């Protein structure tokens, strides 16, 4: 996951991203993720623009049932490498790397993109039933007696 500034073709080319990195966002989030896909590189002499959408995959915890599952999410990437390292340029949307020549290590910037795109409350499937709020049973696997209490008792005793 690096970009060799001295060996990039002029104009537009593509680089393959295929690697793993530590995400480390806290409990329930993937420790490490696999990141892969393609980025378009535009070599504009004084700057390099990297653009594209990568795919991240990692083991995460479902917010509803707390089970482990393979979470996938899309990671939009927009990175600019400025060769004028004395610049005070600020781009709000774009990650900036200042480096004149040689190999740029993209690890940290790609991690930042993956963190920004991390889903808010990932669930193992859209139909996940979650855990029973009363007894804690995983409602995807078994049912429990507590569910009866979902019925509104006010209906009971009404004439039929």
Tokens of 41: 């590189």
Instruction: Give 157's strand partners.
Output: none
Over its C-alpha atoms, the chain yields an Rg (Å, rounded) of 24
Site track 63-82 with Zn ion (rule: CB under 5 A), x = hit: -xx-----------------
62 binds Zn ion (CB under 5 A): yes
Return the bridge partners of 68, or none: 61
Report if residue 60 touches Zn ion, rule: CB under 5 A: no
Task: Give me the sign of the Cα torsion angle 147, 148, 153, 155.
Answer: positive
When binding is defined by CB under 5 A, the residue of 49, 98, 117, 146 that contacts Zn ion is 146
Q: Looking at beta carbons only, is 90 or 148 nearer to Zn ion?
A: 148
CB 75 to Zn ion: min, Å: 22
Name the site residues for Zn ion (rule: CB under 5 A): 62, 64-65, 124, 128, 132, 134-135, 137, 144, 146
């Amino acid at each position: 996951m690096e970009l060799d500034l001295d060996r990039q073709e002029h104009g537009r080319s593509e680089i393959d991203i295929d690697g793993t990195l530590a995400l480390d966002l806290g409990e329930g989030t993937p420790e490490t993720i696999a990141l892969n896909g393609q980025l378009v590189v535009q070599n504009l002499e004084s700057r390099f623009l990297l653009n594209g959408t990568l795919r991240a995959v990692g083991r995460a915890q479902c917010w509803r049932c707390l089970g482990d599952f393979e979470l996938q999410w899309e990671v939009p990437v927009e990175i600019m490498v400025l060769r004028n390292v004395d610049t005070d340029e600020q781009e709000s949307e774009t990650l900036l790397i200042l480096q004149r020549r040689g190999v740029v290590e993209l690890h940290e910037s790609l991690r930042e993109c993956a963190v920004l795109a991390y889903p808010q409350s990932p669930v193992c499937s859209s139909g996940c039933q979650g855990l029973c709020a009363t007894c804690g049973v995983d409602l995807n696997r078994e049912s429990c007696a507590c569910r009866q209490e979902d019925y509104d008792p006010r209906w009971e005793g009404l004439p039929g």
